[in-house]
Structure 1
Amino acid sequence: MSDAEWARIEPLLPQGRTGAHRVDDRRVISGIVHMLRSGACWRDCPPEYGPYTTIYNRFNRWSRQGIWLGMFEALTGNNGIWGTVAMDATHIKAHRSAGGAKGGPSRRP
């Protein structure tokens, strides 16, 4: 993440949290982006991003609080929410043996 991008999203992050020593937000965001790009399990997060539990918990907490939408809008100028969306989920249920032709022995030589 570049310094210009970081300057745009840093004010959107929660401040003044109490509790244990806080892991660097910039490093955590880099870890979250890495994990989302790679598609790997959270447990497989490289240690240079911090503890995988911190990476996962921040992703979940910030998702529930809507912080990711704010960051996305600050970086792209768009909130990523569309006014109208159409999806088609048409499917037909079939019996598990319905994929083949008529069964039984063949009468042709």
Structure 2
Amino acid sequence: MARFDVTDAEWVLIEPHLPVAATGPLPRRVRDQFNGILWRFRTGSGWRDVPERYGPWGTVYSRFNGWAKAGVFQALMDALIAEAASRGQVGLEMVSVDSTIVRAHQDSAGLAVAGETLDALEQALTEEKGAPLAGQPPVLRVMRRRPHPTRTARTARTRRVRIAPPRGDAAGPARRLPGSADPEAD
């Protein structure tokens, strides 16, 4: 058994919630495959990098894919949380959600809300917090974005650089590039 594999006590809680087909042979290495799935997500590696001790990577992936589509992992989490709650071992003080875990999409800001809906949301939110509505500043605000300047306005602001023709200096006349026309010859 590897360092982070499921212990015997943990497996006793997990095994009854993993599905077994009604017909056909019983899978022999379900625990190894479950540990392989956990190893893959713990390390962040690809499926092809799952160690051979958990079985062929294709089998481990197939097991994960089937269980994920069938909702086995959600049912397992619900069952384990219920089991911990029945034992009195659930502590919500350990739950932490912050901005390093949950990210909002860039389009999630700037929601346009009708006035009545906004008032109802503010009232519900302030009542939930227990603060008096009149004494609390508005919680939700409607923000309006400034339009971006148009491309023509941006290009009008750029400085145009004019390239002057070459001039002669004290050392002699300006040098001409080969093949260029002589301006004094005209």
- Tell me whether the two structures share a fold, i.e. TM-score over 0.5: yes
Deviation at 1:61, TM superposition (A): 0.4
- Provide the residue aligned with 2:36 in structure 1: 31
Question: Secondary structure at the residue paired with 2:10?
Answer: helix
The change in CA–CA distance for 1:103 and 1:24 in structure 2 (over 3 A counts) is farther
The change in CA–CA distance for 1:18 and 1:87 in structure 2 (over 3 A counts) is same
In the alignment of these two chains, the number of paired residues is 88
- Provide the residue aligned with 1:57 in structure 2: 62
Identity of aligned residues (%): 34
- Provide the residue aligned with 1:88 in structure 2: 104
> Contact between 1:8 and 1:74, CA under 8 Å: does it hold in 2?
no
Q: Which protein shows a greater Rg?
A: 2
TM-score (norm 2): 0.41
Mark the runs of 5 or more structure 2 residues left unpaired by the alignment: 1-5, 85-101, 108-157, 162-186
Q: CA separation in 1, counterparts of 2:30 and 2:55? A: 10
Q: CA separation in 2, counterparts of 1:59 and 1:65? A: 10
What are the within-5 Å matches in structure 2 for residues 1-109 of structure 1?
Answer: 1-16=6-21, 17-18=23-24, 22-77=27-82, 88-90=104-106
2:24 partner amino acid: T
The change in CA–CA distance for 1:90 and 1:31 in structure 2 (over 3 A counts) is same
Using CA pairs below 8 Å that are at least 6 residues apart, which structure has the higher relative contact order?
1
Mark the runs of 5 or more structure 1 residues left unpaired by the alignment: 79-85, 92-101
